[in-house]
């Protein structure tokens, strides 16, 4: 245990930048519940917390820990409303086992830019038992602090990988590949399998053409009442929730 130095504050605040996250191999998480939820799943390099939070956690395996009060936590925090704990974790080294994708449902994200959307999608994947999310290289960084916060602990249970999507989909062409489009078949009228890839596109532009041409099954989420004009599109995280829910509903509840 040591004092919270200016260098440690500088380190934590630097992790808001992808460049520094890549250079250090670290990421930051904040908040009483989030840190407690993900702590068992990542190696913790630095923990800064109030003594009251520490007292509720029992023995913690951490390289360095610092008891701090509100002022110090506020100086280091990336949140508008800091809580009782800030943790710096090591990014895990993970390898995508492509052979496993032939036996499960997987989310594929094409150019998602908003960290909140990515974090929410990871949270949804966790909720619906989807263990792998594969992102195009230009998708926002999974270790962006806003993504980590929005995942609400899902980042501990869902593995996120970055792969060139066209090459990946060509390699996995024997697996059904789904995407949502305005001219697709109505989601609720299609028989959906328990194995497949679900591609969700960029917030503004949707699925890019080179990925679209590799999709084998085009789906459409209809608005209600049918035929009545409504908003042009859904937020990508909301659309992901609807699609995943229908896949799982059919797997578990349809006769």
CATH topology of domain 98-252: Alpha/beta knot (3.40.1280)
* pLDDT for residue 147: 98
What pLDDT, on the 0 to 100 scale, is given for residue 230? 72
| Residue 255 binned pLDDT confidence (cut-offs 50, 70, 90) | low
> Taking the domains of the chain in order of start, what are their residue ranges?
6-90, 98-252
Decide if pLDDT at 221 tops 90: yes
The pLDDT value recorded for residue 55 is 84
Compute the half-sphere exposure of residue 254: CA atoms within 13 Å on the CB side of its CA.
14
Give the pair of three-digit tokens for residue 149.
């916060």
What is the per-residue pLDDT across 23-34, written as a single tens digit (0 to 9) for each? 999 999 999 999
Over residues 185-193, mean pLDDT: 96
pTM of the model: 0.94
β-strands 177-186, 196-201: how paired? Answer: parallel
Q: What is the pLDDT of residues 100-143, one digit of tens each?
A: 899 999 999 999 999 999 999 999 999 999 999 999 999 999 99
Contact 8, 46 (CB under 8 A): yes
CATH number listed for the domain at residues 6-90: 3.30.1330.30
CA dihedral 206, 155, 214, 110 (to 10 degrees): 30
CA distance 254 to 238: 23
**What order do you get walking across the sheet with 85-90 strand by strand?**
26-30, 85-90, 44-49, 65-67
């Amino acid at each position: 245990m040591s004092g919270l130095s200016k260098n440690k504050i500088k380190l934590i605040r630097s992790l808001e930048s992808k460049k520094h996250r890549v250079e250090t191999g670290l990421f930051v998480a904040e908040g009483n519940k989030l840190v407690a939820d993900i702590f068992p799943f990542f190696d913790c390099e630095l923990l800064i917390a109030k003594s009251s939070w520490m007292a509720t956690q029992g023995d913690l395996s951490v390289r360095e820990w610092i008891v701090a009060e509100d002022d110090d936590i506020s100086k280091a925090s990336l949140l508008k409303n800091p809580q009782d704990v800030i943790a710096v974790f090591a990014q895990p080294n993970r390898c995508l086992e492509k052979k496993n994708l032939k036996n499960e449902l997987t989310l594929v994200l094409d150019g998602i830019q908003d960290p909140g959307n990515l974090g929410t999608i990871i949270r949804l994947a966790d909720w619906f038992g989807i263990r792998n999310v594969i992102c195009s290289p230009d998708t926002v960084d999974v270790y962006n602090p806003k993504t980590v916060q929005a995942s609400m602990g899902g980042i501990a249970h869902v593995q996120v990988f970055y792969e060139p999507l066209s090459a990946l989909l060509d390699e996995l062409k024997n697996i059904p590949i789904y995407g949502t489009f305005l001219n697709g078949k109505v989601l609720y009228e299609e028989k959906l399998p328990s194995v497949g890839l679900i591609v969700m596109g960029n917030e503004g532009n949707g699925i890019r053409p080179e990925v679209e041409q590799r999709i084998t099954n085009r789906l459409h989420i209809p608005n209600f009442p049918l035929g009545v004009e409504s908003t042009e599109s859904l937020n990508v995280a909301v659309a992901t929730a609807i699609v995943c829910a229908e896949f799982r509903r059919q797997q578990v509840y349809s006769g």
